[in-house]
Structure 1
Amino acid sequence: MTVLQFSTYDASRVEETWRQFVPSAALQQVDPDDFRFDWFSAEGAGFSLVRYGLRAQVRSVVEPENQLLACSVAGPGAEVWSGRSPMKCGAPWLTDGARMEARWDQAQVSGLIFDRGTAEELARRMCGDDTLRLRVLGGAPDHQAAREHWSRSIDFIAAAMIESADDELILAGVQRQALWLLLTMFPTTFRTALEQDPQSRVAPRLVRKALAYIDENAHLPITVDDIAAAVHISTRGLQYAFRRSLDTTPAQQLRRARLEGARRELLDGTQDTIAAIARRWGFAHPSRFSAAYRDQYGVLPAATARRRE
């Protein structure tokens, strides 16, 4: 594990240092007057924790690629947003590619960063689903106490990484705990997998391959016949396998995946209309989409969209 800690008045070091951990990070505006930068980071295999204080007028952007990034920006007058959707100052947010922007005059920033492949492999082991495709379904945490929980967890993880820098076994446990925090604090496909009937996680390999194909291609105009062809079985055989293993049908699973995709867009704060999102995910009739969405999530699509306003 590598620990880095320093303080500087050199504005050029901010972006340079941050990009070592998040290559997409960009500081669009930095006022060098009254500037101070205090940095701490602990980096392990596929996983990092960063904490820094930055006193300066700053506007920053991150749009991570092949990373899972959770972050909190706390400070007087600080603002964080994604698209047109503001995030609560001081509360953590999570992205696996969605563009996040922030500005502040003085702020304390803390973050957890996972390599996407590392996170997905570990998440599969934790939930027992080796077909899991790890995705963020919403960038904001679900519960009101997230800010306090995040702060305490960051303190604990940072201390544990420093105290156990040479103990790979303990560091692996800390990494697991940090990822569990992210994947259960925010809406993710990991949490969806945990909530599934355990029977689906031990389904035959053919059924699990079909579920993975559905999740990867739900945004495309695929049919049940396409799913069957992808796993080299007849449509009738696929339907029988789903009924026997999951007590459902491939068509129902495809609809579930498309509803999940639509929900993810609504939570991400897209500027498109609900009708446009519905069409993009294969629902030609907005009224039928709304009914199916309510049956799946207990609320209408408009209620989900309002959560990000």
Structure 2
Amino acid sequence: MTTLTLQHDTDDIDTVASVLGQMYPKVRFDPPRGKVHFQADIRGDEQLSLARLTMGFHAQVTVEPEGVFTSAMLLGGRLRTIHGDGGNAGGVIFGQEETAAEYNGSELLVVNLPEASLIRRAVRANGADSGIVRLQGHHPRPEHAALWVQAVSHVHRSVVQVESAFENDIIRTAAFDYLLALATTALPFEVITRVPPGIGAGKATVRRAVAYMDSHLADAITMADIAAAARVSPRGLQAGFQRHLDMTPMTYLRRARLAEAHRELLHDPTRTIKAVAEKWGFSNQGRFTRMRREVYGIEEGTR
């Protein structure tokens, strides 16, 4: 199995952009304030990669991590994103959508989890043959945050930074597979199964549409809105979803809203089924109950 090792120490912002461009397909910099100092030690393989980064400058960097989820833990300095800062327990997680972050002397330990690797690991854990992964939050689940931090730190220190261990395919693969397995539990992913084999990482247009819908589940959005966000025509969007997910965009939207409604009912006993159903766009309570029973096995008359 081919390994990746990249090490850089530079004060040239173009080199910084080039290095980050090898991690993410699209990177955009605002002009940095003050002097630039950047160090990177990136190691991994096709399963995943870990990076120790020193962002020794003050600037906003925007990335679009197509096909990869990123977990960034702040070790020093400051980091600010729309999803919070990396100082939260377990850091900040992003993926599937363009994300801007303000770095100011940031020391980071970053895990990049390819979407395809997560799908393979997650659907296997769920007893399925195929599926897609949705990011439903931007921080590790509270009950698993400490374990995630410990596991990432241990693998980085004991495997990635030890040359003999890192170059040993058996040791490295086992360590990375452990992180992938833990990620499907510790990080806020939902696995949607019963989709055709071959979805892989999906097409960029479908990923953009999914990211837009996931971030606007509580909003009144139309097919035209979704198509515009995906930068494709409504007909093209319909065709893409049918080809890659075997469902329409609106079917995906209903399933995603159903998942949010189901979660809310489980975690907030003060809310009525009718109120929650209406909040998430289900005007017919009977139909909502039937859908929930079909997907989650909830018996009629129970929450």
Question: Do they fold alike, i.e. is TM over 0.5?
Answer: yes
Letter aligned with residue 67 of structure 2: N
**Residue aligning to 2:60:** 59
Q: Structure 1: where are the runs of 5+ without partners?
A: 194-206, 223-253, 265-273, 297-309
Judged with a 3 Å threshold, the aligned counterparts in structure 2 of structure 1 residues 67 and 125 are, in CA distance, closer, same or farther, namely same
Identity of aligned residues (%): 19
Q: Which of 82, 87, 90 is the equivalent residue of 1:89?
A: 87
Judged with a 3 Å threshold, the aligned counterparts in structure 2 of structure 1 residues 130 and 144 are, in CA distance, closer, same or farther, namely closer
Judged with a 3 Å threshold, the aligned counterparts in structure 2 of structure 1 residues 49 and 284 are, in CA distance, closer, same or farther, namely same
Q: Deviations over 1:247-295 (max 9, x none)?
A: xxxxxxx97654126789xxxxxxxxx999733xxx2369x979x99xx
Higher percent of residues as strand = 2
Q: Secondary structure at the match of 1:129?
A: coil
Q: Mean Cα displacement is larger for which, 63-72 or 89-98?
A: 89-98
CA-atom RMSD, angstroms?
A: 4.1
Q: Would you say 1:11 and 2:13 are equivalent positions?
A: yes
Q: Secondary structure at the match of 1:135?
A: strand
**Number of equivalences:** 233
Letter aligned with residue 140 of structure 2: P
* Cα shift at 1:25: 2.9
Q: Secondary structure at the match of 1:29?
A: coil
Question: Does the Cα contact within 8 Å between 1:124 and 1:132 map onto a contact in 2?
Answer: yes
Distance 2:151 2:82 in 1: 23
Letter aligned with residue 16 of structure 2: V
Letter aligned with residue 159 of structure 2: A
Q: Secondary structure at the match of 1:94?
A: strand
Q: Secondary structure at the match of 1:79?
A: strand
TM-score relative to the length of structure 2: 0.62
Judged with a 3 Å threshold, the aligned counterparts in structure 2 of structure 1 residues 257 and 24 are, in CA distance, closer, same or farther, namely same
Question: Does the Cα contact within 8 Å between 1:218 and 1:258 map onto a contact in 2?
Answer: no
Distance 1:276 1:22 in 2: 39
Distance 2:79 2:167 in 1: 37
**Residue aligning to 1:98:** 97
Distance 1:263 1:5 in 2: 46
* Cα shift at 1:128: 2.4
Judged with a 3 Å threshold, the aligned counterparts in structure 2 of structure 1 residues 175 and 221 are, in CA distance, closer, same or farther, namely closer
Question: Does the Cα contact within 8 Å between 2:73 and 2:92 map onto a contact in 1?
Answer: yes
Judged with a 3 Å threshold, the aligned counterparts in structure 2 of structure 1 residues 166 and 26 are, in CA distance, closer, same or farther, namely same
Judged with a 3 Å threshold, the aligned counterparts in structure 2 of structure 1 residues 208 and 50 are, in CA distance, closer, same or farther, namely closer
Distance 1:278 1:216 in 2: 23
Q: Structure 2: where are the runs of 5+ without partners?
A: 200-241, 264-275, 297-303
Distance 1:105 1:187 in 2: 27
Letter aligned with residue 152 of structure 1: Q
**Residue aligning to 1:202:** none
TM-score relative to the length of structure 1: 0.61
Task: Give the 5 Å matches for 1:118-157.
Answer: 118-143=117-142, 146=145, 148-157=146-155
Q: Deviations over 1:102-143 (max 9, x none)?
A: 213211122111322232123323332113322222222220
* Cα shift at 1:153: 2.3
Question: Does the Cα contact within 8 Å between 1:136 and 1:187 map onto a contact in 2?
Answer: yes
Letter aligned with residue 114 of structure 2: D
**Residue aligning to 1:27:** 29
* Cα shift at 1:17: 0.5
Question: Does the Cα contact within 8 Å between 1:29 and 1:60 map onto a contact in 2?
Answer: no
Distance 2:133 2:79 in 1: 30
* Cα shift at 1:180: 1.8
**Residue aligning to 1:110:** 109
